Amino acid sequence: LHHKYVTSNMPIEHLYIARVTDGLILVASMEHGPSSNNEKMELFKSQAKQLLKKLNPRSTSKMSIESNPYVFHYMIDQGICYLTLTEKNYPKRLAFLFLEEISKDFEQDLKAEYGDEWLRTVETVGRQYAFIKFDRVIQKKRRDYADPNSTANMKKLNDDLQSIHNIMRKTIDDVLDRGNKLDDVSEISKNLATESKKYKWGAKQLSFMALVKQWAPLVAIAVLGLIVLAIRFLW
């Protein structure tokens, strides 16, 4: 038996594609239903833009950020951020599968137009919404992913072997109110691991020194005895 997900007709509200280095929005795609016109959606648009501005090359590659009654999910690939806003009860794994497909299609679309220079084009483009025509692809993908209970989407969830448990989860207040950049926690982990190794090496050195201190007098007496015996034997 499969879990039944309860969502609206269009649970994926927004999708943004932006450059990580400066937050420049390359594509913005909105849900064109009634909810897209209310003031609440304007708040989420503002939050999305603030989130994109806080990203940097050290940011963790995947994160979910709660902003009731929705959740922002983002992933970073090759210096490009794919950020979507979904209903809170929309399955997290499906949201990231959606972003992964968008990422692959965006790269494919740009390669078809710019060839090997596609990434260079993204890195140097100077105007916002430079690739807005990609919205046609996003709109189709959004429809494909609209119903998490569809046969196709249930199959995607069953076939997806990736673990989402290690994807960091924060609240919008955590991210926006503290004024901190979304730095990669893996850097902190690496630093902790390095310090741990230093501590272990220091502990080993202390242990060795303690052994030397304990046994040095006995070793010295034994060596001295051997020298005395050797002298007597030779003379």
Cβ atoms of 103 and 82 closer than 8 Å: yes
The answer, yes or no, to whether residue 4 has pLDDT greater than 90, is: no
Give the sheet arrangement for strand 70-77, strand by strand.
25-30, 12-19, 80-87, 70-77, 62-67, 168-171
70: β partners? 67, 87
Distance CA 147, CA 38 (A): 23
Distance CA 138, CA 144 (A): 10
Average pLDDT over residues 8-25: 88
Best mean pLDDT range from 4-13, 39-48, 63-72, 177-186: 63-72
Q: Which ranges in the chain belong to alpha helices (H)?
A: 39-54, 92-114, 118-124, 135-145, 151-159, 172-177, 185-234
The answer, yes or no, to whether residue 41 has pLDDT greater than 60, is: yes
The answer, yes or no, to whether residue 133 has pLDDT greater than 70, is: yes
Q: What are phi and psi of 104, to 5 degrees?
A: -65, -45
Q: Give pLDDT tens digits for 188-214.
A: 555 656 666 665 666 666 666 777 677
Q: Which two tokens stand for residue 67?
A: 């902003």
Q: Give pLDDT tens digits for 145-193.
A: 999 999 999 998 888 766 677 788 888 888 887 555 666 555 555 565 6
- What is the predicted pLDDT for the residue at 1? 43
Q: How many CA atoms lie within 13 A of 141 on its CB side?
A: 24
Average pLDDT over residues 5-10: 57
Short-list 81, 124, 90, CA closest to 7: 90
Distance CA 223, CA 235 (A): 18
- What is the predicted pLDDT for the residue at 3? 60
- What is the predicted pLDDT for the residue at 193? 60
Name the pLDDT band for 118 (thresholds 50, 70, 90). very high
